[in-house]
Structure 1
């Protein structure tokens, strides 16, 4: 891969749309879409604030029992980067709880023509942490 293949307009637009679809599903608790956007594979990983989920089955089970209220949040400093035509990352800060800032990272891959999350990490830290 060359630097010219970073953020190609087509793949970047596609993965950005997939990310936005994920965000809308997350804040509206659309479990079907959330399950669809994670790759159905035992190697898919989601490390959350209070959970370590290995495989799509564990991720789907978590989503099925997660409370459906209080999911609204504000995104900040979202950075989506595509690498070639089939791989991308999405990073964002989010605010939901006063005094805390959340961090979300996702690794996306185009599998069988569809963008899917293959790894994700979510954490929350005190808002006063230095950005050094």
Structure 2
């Protein structure tokens, strides 16, 4: 089996949905963030100091946050698509006023509802 990497139209789709996610993150659009995570008990998100298993737990965590994420600058983003239905998005970022570099990894999959994050991980580098 030959797997096509970065089919141009698929890469454009994932790049656009990644940008939509980023905009929702920094503007605290919890409805969009909830939408863009795969609504499945198999979805997971590893955060800075917490682990969430399943869409319901991720959504509950976001709802518990008192404020939106601080503004951040994306330093380097690498999006790779594998065939037509699977992709990864990895980015390094620096929060406004922060001294640490952050890392965010997402596994995206095409569902009947569109592209959704099936797994995510966020961490900081000291």
Length-normalised TM-score, structure 2: 0.94
CA distance in 2, matches of 1:39, 1:113: 9
Q: Which moved more, 1:37-46 or 1:69-78?
A: 69-78
SS in 1 for 2:118: strand
> Structure 1, unaligned stretches of length 5 or more?
127-132
2:104/2:122 contact within 8 Å kept: yes
Length-normalised TM-score, structure 1: 0.90
2:25/2:68 contact within 8 Å kept: no
CA distance in 2, matches of 1:22, 1:75: 13
SS in 1 for 2:98: coil
Question: CA shift at 1:23, angstroms?
Answer: 0.1
CA distance in 2, matches of 1:34, 1:18: 11
Q: In structure 2, what is the equivalent of residue 102 of structure 1?
A: 102
What per-residue deviation string (whole Å, max 9, x for no partner) do you get for residues 18-66 of structure 1? 0000000000000000000000000100000011000000000011111
Structure 1 segments (4+ residues) deviating >3 Å: none
CA distance in 2, matches of 1:91, 1:43: 20
Q: In structure 2, what is the equivalent of residue 117 of structure 1?
A: 117
> Cα–Cα, structure 1 residues 34 and 111, in superposed 2: closer, same or farther, change >3 Å?
same
SS in 2 for 1:25: helix
1:26/1:71 contact within 8 Å kept: no
Question: CA shift at 1:16, angstroms?
Answer: 0.5
> Structure 2, unaligned stretches of length 5 or more?
none
Q: In structure 2, what is the equivalent of residue 60 of structure 1?
A: 59
SS in 1 for 2:21: helix
